Amino acid sequence: MGRTKTKDLIKREFYWQNMTGRLDTYLKECRECQLAKQPVNSKVGTYSVESPVKPWEKVYVNIYGSLLQSKRGNNAF
């Protein structure tokens, strides 16, 4: 959940003086919040491929689920 949604949920139930400023400070410094946060520029599904030294030392497999069918009836690209 983002900072805005978190603040909105808290504001529904509570109020105190300088609440927005204190929530902003807390959410910026909250260790658990920072650990759970996804980086903005992260690429989902990327990985580094190491070159094997010996044959069959490492095997990489890309696994796809069922692909959608095109208007022509094709289901692969």
Residue-wise pLDDT for 6-64, tens only, equals 899 999 999 999 999 999 999 888 888 888 777 776 666 666 667 778 888 888 777 76
CB-side neighbour CA atoms (13 Å) of 64: 6
Looking at this protein, which amino acid is placed at residue 33? C
Q: How far apart are CA 74 and CA 77, in angstroms?
A: 8
pTM reported for the whole predicted model = 0.44
Looking at this protein, which amino acid is placed at residue 38? Q
Map tokens 């692969």 to a residue: 76
> What percent of the chain is helix, strand and coil (3-state, nearest 5)?
35, 0, 65
